[in-house]
Structure 1
Amino acid sequence: MTRRPRTLHLRDRLAGGAIGAGLVAIAVLAFAVAAWFVAEVVADKAANDAIRGLAAGRDVAVDPATARPEPLLARAQFLLSRGMVEEGEGLRGPIEATGRTDLVAAYLQDLGAARLVRAFDAVDRQDVDAAVAEVRVAKEVLRAALALAPDDFDLKVDVDLAMRLVRDFPEPGAEEGEEEPGERPKSLWTELPGIPEGLP
């Protein structure tokens, strides 16, 4: 009879050890969740501070590799609104990599608008070729944005404006059955107006 109490005592110790291990695991898990929550709060605060600074006109640096999507968009809007189109275009890849179609559409709309502003500036300088090139790039970018946000009315207006600035005409020979310019037959004297066709 002396062995039986020892077996019960051993079971109690094993049960107590399992409960203790479970409590330690729960405590570690709770600490990990709390640490993640604190890290998210700190990252949110940093993102909001960057967005506020950029909206206030301060040139706040944003690392495209580690930044959240919203500060990336704010940085791109800051650059594009100040005419730094090439620098703003450099953020296109990281913004598209976020997978957020709403932010990508907003970025593309801002990029198209910046291109249109450059086109109007080129028109003011009477540089028509540069203006046409800028409008064509703007149309391409705005169409891509409209594909992502087809219900955005402002975006539709921007696309319509860009389409009216420089029309898209079909290239010569683009239609089926149309001959290449080099393959056209030479005009004969019988096709001239006022000259009779055939022999007299």
Structure 2
Amino acid sequence: MIQFILDVLRDIGWIGLGLGVAIEALSIPFPAAIFVLVYGYLLDPSWVEILLFSLFTSFIYVAVSFVPYYISIRYEGVVRDKLPKQKMRFAQKWIDRYGDWMIAVGRFIGMGYITYIAGLGKMNKVKFAMLTFVGFYPLSVLMFYLGTLGNLEVMVDRFQQAQWLIFTLLGLAISMYIGFRFYRRKKYRQENQTSPSQAPTK
């Protein structure tokens, strides 16, 4: 099955690479990073070519990402109703806390819906393009490089394991943060309840 897929992608060439990247950029669940990895295996590029090919994929990704970006602006009410509320709260919370750079982080770890969050927040178009590029370009470089290592099945497996590791670490970080906030709030309430009011002495 894998060999059949490789043969098809080899036949359609750059069109397949651009199409694979564009599908994920539309915020459709699709493994664009693994697509890039496969083409790294097929093309076996040098380091200079990896950097240039990554520019190609990243420019496509940024350009196509403006489709869901503008959809979220034009049809804000519909998008808010359709997007999973939990995902929206999660993304918005991290953007509020760590700033717009979470758009780049979201791109790197595959949070496609982050584009809708940027659109709903009316993020500046230039900033959105820059952060999307910053998030996808290093991922593209990494995937092209992993593809050149030769063992495609092992590389796909390792990449998927790395994604799970990133999500696990994020989950732990969120849990620790929530636990810390809960502890601080509980401690603050206890101190207020146990502290006697200080009356002025004569």
User: What TM-score do the two structures reach when normalised by structure 2?
Assistant: 0.25
Bigger helix fraction: 2
User: What TM-score do the two structures reach when normalised by structure 1?
Assistant: 0.25
The structure with the larger Rg is: 1
- Structure ranking higher on relative contact order (CA contacts 8 Å, 6+ apart): 2
